[in-house]
Structure formats: C-alpha cells, structure tokens
Amino acid sequence: MKQRLTYSFFLLLALLLALPLTGAASSLPDFVAMSKQLKPAVVNISTAKKIKQRRPNFPGNPHSPYNDFFDDFFDRFMQNQPQMPRKQQALGSGFIISKDGYILTNDHVVDSADEVTVKLSDGRTFDAVIKGQDEKLDLALLKIETGEDLPVAELGDSDKLQVGQWVMAIGNPFGLEQTVTAGIVSAKGRVIGAGPYDDFIQTDASINPGNSGGPLFDTEGKVVGINTAIIAGGQGIGFATPVNAAKEIINQLKETGHVTRGWLGVTVQPMTDELAQSFQLKETKGALVADVVSGSPADKAGVKRGDIIVTYEGNEVNETKDLPRLVAATPIDKKIDLGILRNGASKILKVKIAKMEDGETATGEPVATTEKGQLGLALTNISPELAQRYGLEGTEGVLISGIDPNSSAADSNLQRGDVILEVNGNSTGNVEAFREAVAKITKGEVLRLLVKRGDSILYTTLKAD
C-alpha cells in the first residue's frame, strides 16, 4: 500500500512538472499551416531599368600624362558607334492587398524602374504598373491585371504588436523565392536614420536583400509590417515599417499616386536632462521648439521658441520623433489642439494645419571685438564681413570664434562658427549683452543657449566652470 502511494505521488509530481512544458509547447505558432495559408498572397518582384554605358576606366596611374591620349582615342572611336544602354536588374518582394491586384512593396524596390514584373506563388508572371510612390515612408503601390480574384494578405494592427511576440516573414531573399523565416519582435519604435518618419519594428526573423517589400505576419496571419531595411553585416537584426503607417497612405497612393501631408512649421529637438533642468522641469518628455517658421501654422497660432510641445490633438508627445508622424497624418486645414509648456505653465493653442510642400519636413578669424575666456569661449561681435564669411543673414548674436580645449565648453555641443542668440531666454545681440546675461552665473550652473548653426537653430546647454 505504501509503495502504491509513493508511486502515485511521484506520478502526480511528474504530471505537475510537465504542465508548464505542455502549455509552452501548445502556445507555439503552427508555422506549417501559416506558410500554406499565407504564401499565395506573397509575390516576387523583379525590376529592370536602362542605364547608359559608362566610359571604361583605363588601368595604370590615374595621373599619367598618357590619360589624355586614351580619352581622345576613346572619344574618337566611340563617336560613330551606337550607344547601347544596358539593363540593371533588381529583386524584391511584395504582397497582394486587394482581390483586383493591388500590391504593396517598398519604394526603393521599384524606384526609377522601366519594367516591373510580378511573379505569383503559382509561377505565373504579370507586368505591373506603379500606381503610387512615397519616398518618405519608402512604400509603393503596384497594380497587376489577372482577370480573376487573387488571394489577399489581411492587414493587421501594428500598434498592438508586443516585444517578444512571434512573427513570420515571407519573401524573395537573394532570389530564393517564397522563403519563410520566423522570429520574434525584438523592439519597436526604432529610429535608424532612414527617413523623417522612422518608427521601425525590429525583428530577428531573417531578413536579407530581396526581402524588401515583403510582409511581416503576426501569429494570426495578419500583416503587421513591411520588411524594409537591414544592417550591413548584422545578423538577427531586420527592420519593418509598421503596417498602420502604410494603411494611412494607401488610399492616397491609389487615388493620386502621391501622399499629401500636414505641416506645422517648427524645428524641434529632444529634451535632455540638462535642458529639462534649465527649464526647471521634472521630466524630459516633450519636443522642444528651437525655431518657428515665419508665417507657418505654428507661427500664426502663437508658438514660440522655447515652448515644449507635450500633446498633439490629445496624443502625448513623449519624444521628438512622435510629433512629425502626428502632424503628417493630419488632414490639411484641420484645426488641432496643441498642448505646450511655456515658462512652466500649460497652454492649449489652436493650430490650423497646412499642406507640406516639397523640401519641407514636419520639423573664422575674428575681425571685430572679441571677448576671450568667457565660459571658455572666444566670442566676437558679428560684422558685415563676418556675416558674409559665415553665410549669416544678419549681425544679431555673438559668434564663437574659438573654444578653450581645457574648459567645459570643449565637452559641450558648441562649435566654432556657431552664433549664440540667447542665454537662458535672454537675447544676446552682441558681446556686451552676452556678458550681462552671464554676469550672475555661478559655478556649476547649467546654461541654456539658443544657437544658430548654418541653416538650423537649436538649443544646447553649457555648464559653467
């Protein structure tokens, strides 16, 4: 009896220990079923564009006096020869988003292409027409005519995606058609410098050249991202554009071929701990306004330098990168509530969003009197000659003509040629005004400087020695 009880105890213990393992196994996605279901909606894309023949590079010393002879000979020889352009080919991926043949892919896959061919999972090929392109989000919309309904990849909700969640990619890496890879979401909201609206999903599902434009699926078989970028030499690091960003522009690409975005007219920069301290803020949240474009919607609404944008139409602006995406997605002429902090007080400004135009985004030796040693800076009044030399529009502000390498200024973000416009909100039109602005500064105090650098205006900080 005792042996029977002991046996039953150990059997029960084994079953209990096995439960978590069984639960974990049952939670794994069925990648076999997902692959069979989703592959028909994924396509391979091949492009070709004609490029002119280039002059051959002759071997030898590039500075040789005989190079002119070879150049003249080549020009005379080729003068009456037909210039046959050659084709440059590229591969990519895409996925069908409507039964009548609309396909989503990356803009860089089809940009400047003279020919675009789409190959379906069943092997049939069709010529595709580029219906719309958006360089800023690196997305393009294609259309093929098959005369029949096509399988469609359902678009999901990338906002609900969680770090650690299983995802699966299908694409055409290195020309290897219909390749399936799986992994997890490694991170969200990645900024990699690809464009003004970086907000990438990072995944360790293998993504390689040729995967561009292909879908990233969640475990429900819905598209949550468009595979877009890789890091050269990196392993297990790929980036996908969130599908919600694509959903916002698909109709515009279909109807007009391009995307119209909202424009606010401010230059913003991130809040640092030191900047937050200089503004007497407890948190580093928000987008700091470094400049306001004259006549812009922000200017008309009363936005000023030094304002900290904390909300946009009820959405929190925790980081600088949050603002451009919110503004860009706003319909033209819509009035929105812009929440700001100014001198520690909260304000709501009404802003009428305008249309973004091309080129816009949704953000020397001293020859005059020089003040040396002030905070480790050599400062100069700006003469007309200096303004011309440094490409400045006026003579307001003080020019940094030198930085003491042994001072804290050498460790700051300041550079020779910068123009200091304000110190802690006080205008510094000349060296004398700068001297007055810093007269009461104590050792260890953090100064907030408004600086003009080239065509940009930004805030930075400097700790007094």
Q: For 319-336, b where at least 16 C-beta lie within 10 A, e where not — what string?
A: ebbbbbbbbbbbeeeeeb
CA distance 236 to 251: 33
- DSSP H helices, 148-306, are 243-247, 250-255, 273-278, 297-301
Q: Is 465 a catalytic residue?
A: no
Cβ-contact 430, 399 below 8 angstroms: no
Q: For residue 425, give every residue at least 6 positions away whose Cβ sits within 8 Å of its Cβ, in sequence order, or none.
A: 306, 448
Q: Which of 46, 93, 107, 138 is catalytic?
A: 138
Give the DSSP H/E element, type plus range, for residue 312. strand 308-312
Cβ-contact 420, 413 below 8 angstroms: no
Q: Which of 108, 199, 278, 291 is catalytic?
A: 108
Phi, psi for 80 (deg, rounded to 5): -105, 10
CA angle 211, 114, 213 (to 5 degrees): 15
- Computed on alpha carbons and rounded to an integer, the radius of gyration of the chain in Å comes to 30
Cβ-contact 212, 227 below 8 angstroms: yes
CA distance 305 to 365: 30
Q: Which of 212, 278, 401, 407 is catalytic?
A: 212
Instruction: Provide the 8-state DSSP code for 418.
Output: -
Q: Is 108 a catalytic residue?
A: yes
Q: Coil, helix or strand for 316?
A: strand
Instruction: Provide the 8-state DSSP code for 155.
Output: B
Q: Is 212 a catalytic residue?
A: yes
CA distance 382 to 132: 49
CA 332 to chain centre: 22
List the catalytic residues.
108, 138, 212
